[in-house]
Structure 1
């Protein structure tokens, strides 16, 4: 083997080794959580850490449900994340079409204004938004959790604009010649051809909404209105020093499974959305 080939093989082996170690370090906490969720609580800390349960059991889920309304938290998370995602898409998809395929005065200025909102730290808006929620008597309601989370769509508008701009102009020109108005162009030509991009944004939005923590802690006080993210924090705080790791890890596993399933189901669309497409104009 020549020196060049040996050097290339050596660097590749080192790279693969680094990637393997990094992957194991990333996956290990998840594997331990899954193992602890199905391991009897008294065995979790009594024995060395293992990556598989020795005596698998579903008792941790029942124990967690007897201590806290975890199934209600799960439903609350699904409900709020879904409505936030739908709200973002309802605003971002038409806006992306308008910026990508329509011409109107001030389009460029307005588009850059939308893009500029991406650099605005959302934490700065927490206090005025919280005051508005209290004054509107919406505190401790699902609306307080959902509505203020929807307008942060700068990235979504930009992404959808790029998706619509990547479509061939000839498609829209042919539709206009056939008498199709903007609405038909949007619904019958635009949306069907950018479904992978919409699916990708749906997953991104759902994951972001699912993981909302700080805002949920501020506006949701009733324990039956909490989401899994805020509920797990309450679970850990209420147990104190006598923390039961099995039920806590079972609840944590519930917070991971829905997002993972959605990602796996939409994986094909995400790959299509990220694959190189038509040239942008």
Structure 2
């Protein structure tokens, strides 16, 4: 084997080693968290590096639930993330279709206005939004967490517009010839053909809504209305000083499990939506 033919092999091996090391470094905190969640609290500090729990137990979940309403936090997170996702899709999917397939005055200007909202820092809207929520006496309600989070859909509208524009015009022309109106074209032709794109956006929206922290800290004071994201911060403040790492890791594991399940369930749709790319036809 010559030096010239050996170089590509060495180069690929080096790249694989670097990628493997990066993968291990990225996954190690997650592995440690999962291991600690099932390890008795008094054994966590005794041996910091482990890839399997010593004396596996579910006691950390029981302890965490006895100290804080973690199951209520979990339900609140699922509820708010699901409703926010549904709300975003209800607005973004028809809007994307309208920008892609309908002709109306001011369409281009309105679309660029929607695109411009993507560059607007959402943190700038927190204070006026909070003032509005206070004046409506809606603080510490599920609505205050859900409704203000729905309108940030600039990227969703853009993505759905591109997805609908990738569909061939012949499909819609054939439907018009058969007498299908705009609504039937949208509901029976357009939407079924962009399900992978909708699934990908659903996962993105769910993950974003699940991780809302700052807004939740502002509008949710009742401990039983907190989400897991805000609840874990409270848990860490109260329990961190006591080194209750086991219950804290158990609660943290609960916070990532639903997102991981949603991602794995929709993985096939995400690959279908992103792998070929979304172009304009």
Which residue of structure 2 lines up, in the alignment, with residue 31 of structure 1?
31
TM-score by length of 1: 0.98
RMSD after superposition: 1.0
| Distance across 2 between alignment mates of 1:250 and 1:15 | 35
Q: Structure 1: state its 5+ residue gaps.
A: none
> How many residues end up aligned between the 2 structures?
281
TM-score by length of 2: 0.98
Which residue of structure 1 lines up, in the alignment, with residue 46 of structure 2?
46
Mapping of 1:112-191 within 5 angstroms? 112-191=112-191
Is the CA contact 2:92–2:156 (under 8 Å) kept in the aligned structure 1?
Answer: yes
Pairwise CA distance, 1:239: 2.0
Is the CA contact 2:74–2:255 (under 8 Å) kept in the aligned structure 1?
Answer: yes
Q: Which moved more, 1:116-125 or 1:233-242?
A: 233-242
| Distance across 2 between alignment mates of 1:275 and 1:79 | 30
SS in 1 for 2:221: coil
Is the CA contact 1:93–1:160 (under 8 Å) kept in the aligned structure 2?
Answer: yes
Which residue of structure 1 lines up, in the alignment, with residue 218 of structure 2?
218
Q: Deviations over 1:170-210 (max 9, x none)?
A: 00001111111110000000100000000000000000000
Q: Which moved more, 1:46-55 or 1:223-232?
A: 46-55
Which residue of structure 1 lines up, in the alignment, with residue 89 of structure 2?
89
Relative to structure 1, the CA distance from residue 279 to residue 84 in structure 2 (aligned partners, 3 Å threshold; closer, same or farther) is closer
Is the CA contact 1:167–1:278 (under 8 Å) kept in the aligned structure 2?
Answer: no
Is the CA contact 2:162–2:279 (under 8 Å) kept in the aligned structure 1?
Answer: no
Is the CA contact 1:166–1:277 (under 8 Å) kept in the aligned structure 2?
Answer: no
Pairwise CA distance, 1:240: 4.5
Q: Structure 2: state its 5+ residue gaps.
A: none
Is the CA contact 2:220–2:226 (under 8 Å) kept in the aligned structure 1?
Answer: yes
The reply to whether residue 22 of structure 1 matches residue 22 of structure 2 is yes
